[in-house]
Chains A and B, each alone.
Chain A
Amino acid sequence: MFRVTRFAFRVPNLNRTFAPVKINTLNLVELKSVSFGYRDEPVIDQVDLVIRSGDFIGMIGPNGGGKSTIIRIIMGLLEPWSGEVIISKETNIGYLPQTHNFDNRYPISVLEVVLSGLLKVHGITTRVNKKDKQKALGVLEKVGMADLAKRSIGDLSGGQMQRVFIGRALISSPQLLILDEPVTYVDNRFEQELYNLLEIISRETAILLVSHDIGQIVSSVRTIACVNRHLHYHPSNQITEEILESYNCPIDLITHGHVPHRVLHTHLP
């Protein structure tokens, strides 16, 4: 359903503008001058960020700049040194971590891994009914893994596992989807499929997409957050190297390969 036949010919709409959605927007996540570090070394410093419904934020920045740290704080895996994290209890966040800390010989099927994404909805006495299973199969269809639903997770390749984990993030129909470097292990073909899928999802779901490679994300996101210890929010996806430099966010804008390129205008104030 989400398969593109020939993505190479897909021309990005250069003049696409996004009317800021003002009606019925909801603050899903709010960070207020959040700081965190390891030992005495601060990794992020006084970070402010608001994620609203309807957002599609690309988070970029160099390695070690603090992108994953911010995500892990939002997900409650790290306690910030200072500052405030405001997330409503009802906010359902789908999460794809950058690295997975699991035993890949654990006896669990692909279908069951996707179903585990419902844990936060069902709570500690989580049970699975037929409807949930169908939902999981539907999600596996979307990420192109339905054929392998019964396989053990450990028998998959890195890219296939990544698809399954994306499925796990999607199954609960979250209001916010956070993807930390989602294309790390996947092949070019699925990478493009994934971006198309995200574009469809973004019509109903807020997305925070983390990538160290800006060329990959600039054509799909609506706004950009640049993280290099500090967070600079850029309310548009039109950015230039000058702007990035002024943010102290040294990122190469020139990418190569299969990504549909976008000519970046000089941003006028």
Chain B
Amino acid sequence: MILDFFNYDFIRFALAASLLGSITAGIIGTYVVTRRMVFITGGITHASFGGLGLGFFLGVNPLLGAAVFGLISGVGVEYLSRFHKIREDSVIAMVWSFGMALGIIFISLSPGYAPNLMSYLFGNILSVSTQDILIMSILLVLVLALFIPFFRLIQYVTFDEDFARTSRVPVSLFKYLLAALVALTAVVYIRVAGIILVLSLLTIPQNTALLFSNNLKKIMWLSIGIGFLGSLLGLVISYAGNIPSGASIIFSLVVLYLLGSAGKAIFEARMKLRKINLSATRFKP
């Protein structure tokens, strides 16, 4: 059965998408989680639904419309967050729901019935095309081009922005570049996980990794590994149980997170017990 599994082209594409997605999401998701932009990212992803709708309406590639909407909302929220008077979370909620509303308006104005709307909401890794793989690869190259040379700068800017500003480095430029990459990542992986589920690729493996390390580089590597493992498990479950792949991947990721938490708790309890035992023997007369 497993050999069968690898014989299909769509499975090979799905595996490639899983690998590319795990690497991209492992890096970008670590930025999103440690900078506490999870809610912003949710806003961007949902706002891009407006772009999808516009794409349908104009008859162009819906993902192109989504990318434009995603970029505008991502960079826009980053810009607005500079003004402390604005309640950032409220702005995000407005952008989030306004984007969804626009999407629905455009789709209902479009002639005929919008076809695979479900696949945009929940994603389908089994329908990934060569073109999708190409786009995912380009995105990964962009991500690596920013994160490899500027890794420490990004870390310092994320940790203490004010201090980074006093070091005479272009803090705002990097924040906008990163916001743009977050938006693009969210939109590109709509194909795989869907608008509703894409957030989990950017948060669950990263939070699992955060259980085990305080080193940003290690957290990224761990997130990549955990993300890929979760995707593989999810694909197998999807194939074996005939379950939509987005749901089964996220189910696997959450299971890995719970296993990680439990493992950590058991390990810590054991260490504590050992310490107590050690000190008990030490004070024996």
Interface residues of A (CB under 8 A from B): 75-77, 93, 95, 97, 100-103, 106-109, 112-113, 115-116, 119-120, 123-128, 152, 168
Pair B215/A76 contact, Cβ less than 8 Å: no
User: Is B34 within 8 A of A124, CB to CB?
Assistant: no
CA of A97 to CA of B213, assembled, Å: 28
With CB as the reference atom, state the residue of chain A lying closest to B162. A101
B contact patch SS: helix
Output the least CB separation between A209 and chain B (Å): 17
Instruction: Flag whether B125 is at the interface (Cβ < 8 A).
Output: no
When chains A and B are docked, how far (Å) is the Cα of A55 from the Cα of B35?
39
Q: Decide if A75 touches B166 in the complex (CB within 8 Å).
A: yes
Minimum distance in angstroms from A145 CB to a CB of chain B: 16
* Total residues of chain B contacting the partner, CB 8 A: 28
A123 and B159 form a contact (CB under 8 A): no
Cα A119 to Cα B174 in complex, Å, equals 14
Q: Is B168 an interface residue (CB 8 A)?
A: yes
Contact (A108, B214) CB under 8 Å given A101-B162, A116-B156, A125-B149: yes
- Judging by beta carbons under 8 Å apart, are B159 and A124 in contact? no
Contacting residues, chain B, for A97 (C-beta < 8 A): 162-163
A-B contact count (CB 8 A): 75
Q: Which of these, A77, A116, A128, contacts B159 with CB under 8 Å?
A: A116
Q: How far is the CA of A106 from the CA of B215 in the complex (A)?
A: 10
Tell me how far the C-beta of A80 lies from the nearest C-beta in chain B, rounded to whole angstroms.
16
Cα A113 to Cα B214 with chains together (Å): 12
Bound-complex Cα distance A168 to B168 (A): 15
Measured CB to CB, the nearest residue on chain A to B155 is A108
Cβ contact of A106, chosen from B159, B169, B170, cutoff 8 A? B159
Which of the residues A100, A125, A126 comes within 8 Å of B160, measured between beta carbons? Answer: A100
The residue of chain B having its C-beta at the shortest distance from the C-beta of A119 within the complex is B167
Chain A residues, Cβ within 8 Å of B214: 107-109, 152
CB distance from B154 to the nearest CB of A (A): 10
Quote the shortest CB–CB distance from A175 to chain B (angstroms): 15
Are A124's CB and B156's CB within 8 A? no
Chain A's closest residue to B170 (CB) is A124
From 209 to 250 in chain B, residues with beta carbon under 8 angstroms from any chain A beta carbon are 210, 213-216, 219
A119 adjacent to B164 (CB under 8 Å): yes
In Å, the complex CA distance between A152 and B159 comes to 12
